[in-house]
Structure 1
Amino acid sequence: MTSQKLIRRALIVWIIVCLLSSVLLYAEQIRRQFWERDREFTALFSSISAVLTQNESVLPLLNGDEDLMALRKKFPQILALEKTHDRALDAARVEPLDDEQYWLYNPWRQIRVLVDLRSLLTTAHEFSPLHINLSATIPEPSTAFWHWQRDFPQHTQRFTLTADAEPRWLNIRWVLFPLLFLGWAGIVAVGAGVVWQRLQRQNAERRAWYYQHARLNTLGEITAGIVHEINQPLTATQTWIQGAQRQLVQENTQAASHALGAALTQTQRIGELLKRFREHVVQEKVTLSEIDLAECWQHVGNLLEHERRNEHITVSHHFPPQAASVQADRLWLEQVLHNLLSNAIQAQQENARGWVHISSQRKNGVTEIIMTDGGPGFSPEALQNAFMPFYSGREKGIGLGMTLTESLMMRMNGSITLDNAPQGGAQIVLQLEPGKGAAHE
C-alpha cells in the first residue's frame, strides 16, 4: 500500500467517524435538553401537588368566619372564603371558574374557597404551553415534539398537568464539534502512522524473504544445471572406464587405451563445463568465433556414441558449404547440440530403429540449424512450457536442459524454436547470426 492510498483511506475513515460522532454528539445534546425539561416538569408538578395537598388539608379546618387576610398570609393561593347554603353532600367538590381558578367546596361545613393557581403556572419555564386541566374532559392530542401529561393524586382535586416543548435545535454547544474533529484527527493520524510503520516492516520482511528465496532459487537452478550438464559426461566416463577394465582383464590393451582416452575426453569436457558455469556466474566476456558445424557435430556424436548404439539410433547430417560454419562459442554450441541430441535419443527409446537428422541453411545472413527426429514430437503442453525452468516431459527429468539451451543460444546472439515436423517427430530450429568477433557478456 502506497502512502497516498493510506492517506486517502485515513481521510475517509476520519470523515466517517466525524460524521457518526457528530450525529451522536448532536443527539446527546438534544437528549440533555429533554432531560432538563423533564426535571423542570417534575419540579412544577411537585410544587402544584403540594399546594393542592394544602388545600385539602386546610379546608376541613375552616368554618367560614376566618379572617381572609390572615388566611392568605399562610395560603396565598386562596383568594376568597364564602359560606354556602343547602349544598348537597354528593355535589361536585370542584367548580372551575376559568383555566387557572376554581372553587373548592366543603359540603359538610357548607363553605367554599376560591383557589388561584396562576402564580404557579406563570413561573419561568421552557414549556409552551403549560396547562392544568381542571375538568374531567379529555385534552386534545398534542402535536409538539415533546409532551408531558401527569395526573395529580389528590382525592378531591383530580386535575391533570400537561406541558409541551420543542427542542432548541440550534441552541447547542457548537464549540464541541471542532474539538471533536481535532480529537478524531489526532487519533486517526496516530493510527495511520502505526499502520504505515507496520506495513513498512511487513514489506521489508517480505522483500527480505523474496530476496532470500530468489537467491536460493538461483543457487538451486545453477546447482541443478551443473548436475544436469555433468551427469551425462560422468555417466559416459563411468561406462568407458568399466569398458577399459574389461579390456584389461582380456589383455586387450589397445581397446583399453581407446576407452581410457574416451573417458579422459569426457572428464576434460566436465572441466570445460564447470569453467563455463563459472563464466556464466561471474558474467565474464565470451568471444564468439567461427565454428565448423560438421566437426562440432562429429564431436557431439562421439560423446553420445554409447547411447546411440544402445538405442539403435541412426544419426545423419547435411551441412552445405554456404552454411557449414557459424559464429558461436564452441563449447556452448556443443552443449546445445549435445542436449538436443540426448533428448532426441531418449524420446525414441520405444522405437526399434530411431533416427536423427541435422542440416543447415543460410537465409539473409542468418544460419539456421535444423534438427529432426523420428520420435513422437512435442505435445501442446511441451511446446508452451519447454523453456520454463524445472519443466520436463520425462518423469525423472530435471527440467533445466532446454532452459539452459535457450540461455546459451541467447548469449550467442541466437535463438531456438520448437515445432513438430510435417512428416512427424520433433523439429528444432537454431538461428545464429554471423556477428564475427562480437563480444557477448
Structure 2
Amino acid sequence: EIGNPLNSIKMALTVLKNNLEKFSKEEIKVYMDRMFDDAAKMEALLKSFKNFNMFEKPKTVRVDLEEFFLSLTLLLGADIKKKKIDISIDVLPEGRWVTVDTRALQHVSMNILANALDALDSTKKPSLKIRGEAMGEKVFLSVIDNGCGMPEEMVENAFKPFYTTKPHGTGLGLVISKKMLAQMNCGIKLQSEKDRGTTVTLSMPKAEPPEEKKSAAYAVYNQ
C-alpha cells in the first residue's frame, strides 16, 4: 500500500524532470501538490503502523470506564461544542471497571469518537451517547451516534485492511483497533444504518472495583 503513493511521487518527479523548462508555474504546482498529497498518505500509513507496534505487548490495569470516557470527551470538547452535539455518558455501576491497556484503549476510543464526530457533521440535532453495562464476566460499552450511518457494504468491509471512503483515510484505523483489542482479550462490533446512525460496541474483561468504591457503587445500583 505504501508503494502506491511512492510510485505516484516517482512518476510525478519523472514528468517534472523531463518537462521542467516547458511547464508553466501552474502546471508545476499541480504536480507538486500531488506529491505532497501522496507524501501525506505515506506519513499516515507509517503512523498507523507505528501506533500498532507501540501496543504489541499490552500492559493491562484496572480502569474506571466512566472517568476514562469523561476525560476523552473533555479532550474533544471544542469539536463537540462547535458542532452543538448533545452528549451523554451512562455507565452502570456494575459495568464501570474493566481490565485493559489504557494507552491502547485511548487510541481505539479516540478513533471511534473521531469517526462519530465526522458522521455527525450534517446532522440537524446531533447526538452522541456512551452506554456501558456488564453481562457475565464482560463489560459492553457502546458509542451511539445519530449521524449519516453507513450502507451495508461499508459495514461489511469496515474491518478490511486499506478499505476507506475518506479522501485522506488509510483504511487501517478500525483494522488496527480490532487487533489492539484482541491482544487485550477485548472485541469490537459495528452496527449501522444509512441515514439513521451507527453503534460501535466494545467488549472488555470485567474487573472488580477498588474496595473503597465497591460498596458505594453497588449500594447505589441496588437501590
TM-score (norm 2): 0.67
Match of 1:396 among 150, 154, 168: 168
Match of 2:60 among 282, 285, 288: 288
- 1:19-418 aligned at under 5 Å gives the runs 224-225=44-45, 227=47, 277-280=52-55, 283=56, 285-418=57-190
Closer/same/farther in 2, CA of residues 355 and 226 from structure 1, 3 Å limit: farther
* 3-state DSSP of counterpart to 2:98: strand
Shift in Å at residue 296 of structure 1? 1.0
Q: Structure 2: which 5+ residue stretches go unaligned?
A: 7-40, 209-223
* 3-state DSSP of counterpart to 2:44: helix
1:377-428 Cα deviation digits (max 9, x unpaired) = 221111111011221232332222111211111111111111137x931111
Shift in Å at residue 338 of structure 1? 0.8
Shift in Å at residue 277 of structure 1? 4.7
Q: Percent identical across equivalent pairs?
A: 25
How many equivalent pairs are there?
Answer: 170
CA distance in 1, matches of 2:93, 2:71: 19
Q: Which residue of 2 aligns with 1:77?
A: none
Match of 1:431 among 192, 196, 203: 203
Shift in Å at residue 223 of structure 1? 5.5
Backbone CA RMSD of aligned residues? 2.9
* 3-state DSSP of counterpart to 1:287: coil
TM-score (norm 1): 0.35
For the Cα contact (< 8 Å) 1:369–1:430, is it kept in 2?
yes
Task: For 1:330, give the aligned amino acid.
Answer: T
Q: Which structure has the larger Rg?
A: 1
Moved over 3 A (4+): 221-229, 276-280
CA distance in 1, matches of 2:48, 2:123: 25
* 3-state DSSP of counterpart to 2:167: coil
For the Cα contact (< 8 Å) 2:65–2:97, is it kept in 1?
yes
> Whose RCO is larger (CA < 8 A, sep 6+)?
2
1:320-357 Cα deviation digits (max 9, x unpaired) = 11001111011111111111111011011112331110
CA distance in 1, matches of 2:45, 2:77: 23
CA distance in 2, matches of 1:226, 1:303: 24
CA distance in 2, matches of 1:225, 1:361: 35
